[in-house]
Structure 1
Amino acid sequence: MDGEPFIADVRVNGTDFVPSLVDYGCLCYGAVSKRISLSPVATYTRPAAHLGECSGDGKEVKIDKITYVSIDLDGHQQHRVFMYVIDDLNWDMILGKRWMEDQDVHIHAKEGYLEIGSNGVQYHKWSRAFSQQLADQLPPHRPGVDLKIEVLKDEHGREKPLPWGPLYSMSREELLVLRKTLTELLDKGFIRVSSSPAAAPVLMRDRYPLPLLSETLRTIAKARWFTKTTFRTRYGSFEWLVVPFGLTGAPAAFQRYINSALQDYLDDFVSAYIDDVLIFSSGSLQDHRDKVGKVLQRLMDAGLQLDINKSEFEVKAVKYLGFIIEAECGIRVDPEKVEAVKEWATPTNVKSVRSFIGFANFYRMFMPEFSPSKLKDLLITAPILAHFHPERETIVEDASGFASGGVLLQRDDKDGLVRPVAYFSKKHSAAEANYAIHDKELLAILRCLEQWEPELRAVEHFKILTDHKNLRYFYSERRLTERQVRWSEFLSRFQFELEWRPGRKGGLPDALSTGPGYAGQLLR
């Protein structure tokens, strides 16, 4: 840019405003001075290089460090922005050519302003939804939504005696934090001094249902774009005027409210799990932006505030409910969630065993062999599960040994490979273990179809591969047992054909039904 340099005030890492040079002559993404890199931000050493394209004046400078910063330019926010660290930089920060191109920045020198065409400006109309000032204010009463604490009654309809909770011992440091927290909550109006005759940690639960994780993941399969009571203290008794974290009825109450606010959009292009809202779409970027605008407007109308630091806009991959969901690719385990598995100590009691199994069970749909001896490796190396597409060729492989097992597969239109969508296994009960082989195989099919009924009911036709040849003649049998008649009625809901394949080719389903050590190759 010719003439006077263009200087913009940029808030760095959520603190100070920094005069920054916006320079098309700086060919890299951007650079910061040593002063900025000394703030509480990680700095990484890299092999030294001498570059003349990042200093802003064309002089060759030594660069051996990089860092990541968050920047806020008049409401346009970016997180983890890559920057070179230059010791003797003339400016605290330079935003270069690559940044301008990436963010679609245009300099209007005569008028003295920048035009930024990315999502920070796209959604500026709804900036009040991200206002910290509004978030710190007491929200309005919402009839029909405000929480009410019900007192339990005895068999005669009389209220039970109200409990008086004990005080817990606290260290001096904990007491200082408690006093500071109480002061902040009182100043915001979130709590008030209470004269209530009761204070207890136990409340009645709100039974409003939370969304099923499996249904939520199915709903977003084709998306291309994603945007995710009185208490006693040493200092007296206080009562909440807002719903606190940990209140047993809070999740259900908030889920009810968020569902009512977004009712028209749920499962169409929005998924809301308590306070985690995901907007998804399979169309154009502009179509996605229109939908984001609708959701932001609806949340503003409902008086809900969002955290800009936890928001992502117009991304192709997103962390949601413990998974990584990637456009046109699939669902995989969040590496951060399972990193601790590598260092997980061997369980030494019933409680620790339950804790580990419970953690692993959350991800069992990724694991073809769900056995304690292999859980660590299976979690760490969990494959990417493909999204389910009703129009693709669909195959169910089943097997039955000591358990029912199966894998749901679909052929990828791009490379012709058959990829896993989900795994399933369930141990036989004592009675089921005594079934005839014919019925065990049929039970395996039945359980697979029950597990994946929402997906398979949407498919016009699919194959079931079985290693029991006689099952092909099941529908032609004249005499069926009472159990087989019940099963036949359920199977008639699906459009499938049974195809025999030799047991030795069962591979993965056989491993699911007979235990570890038998996993083979998927179909090719």
Structure 2
Amino acid sequence: MVDTGCLCHSVIDETLVRTNKLKTKQIKPRPLLLANGKKTGDIKEIALFELDIDGRREDCWAYVAPSLIYPLILGKPWLEINDVIYMAKRRCLRFGRRNKGLWVRASGWHLHEEPLAIKRRVAPFNKDLASLSSVTEFADHLREARSSEKTIIGAISMDDITRALQPKMEQSRAEVTASLPEEIREFVDLFLDDEPNTQRALPPHRPGIDTKILLQRDSQGREKEIPWGPLYGMSRGELL
């Protein structure tokens, strides 16, 4: 969870640290204060781990605290260090500049209600993964999941996304055919990889017919800077 009201860098639940055997480091005891100023105990260690948010990875640390409601809370200092802006109305985070940054939506936008015939899918927590949600949204989804007779399909895990983005293993014609719906299996040739020295091979490069991309120029005749940013400004989940 991202919490702009949390004044420390980040806090992680002690049970999560022990269960996933995260690397920890002892520190000088520091008092843990609530918003009303009351002390609830001392923080005696920090956890070190890799944080993955929609493909954006960073080495992260967090104070280890017992009995947190959320597994991980990213606080205001973390937002400032990473130049992150929380867009409350759009329920998303923006990393970096508006036109060149990464946009991350709150979890829950991709949830769908399906018939009971579809089984619930629950991905195991991985120490390299992190999710984004708001307090009220998480509570609403939890109550709905417990009370509704319908099955909710949750988001795929970051492991699934990472595997989908990795280079694919070459498949045989029979394997490709079996993976296609019956209605389009007659077009299996369109789904096969190009093979050199066959009819499906790409034509050889023909010099002299290259296509140029003409860049725009400013008032002084100089080429304008090419903008950079994530593909279409979309998160990994949206791209898939």
* TM-score normalised to structure 1 length: 0.20
More helix by share: 1
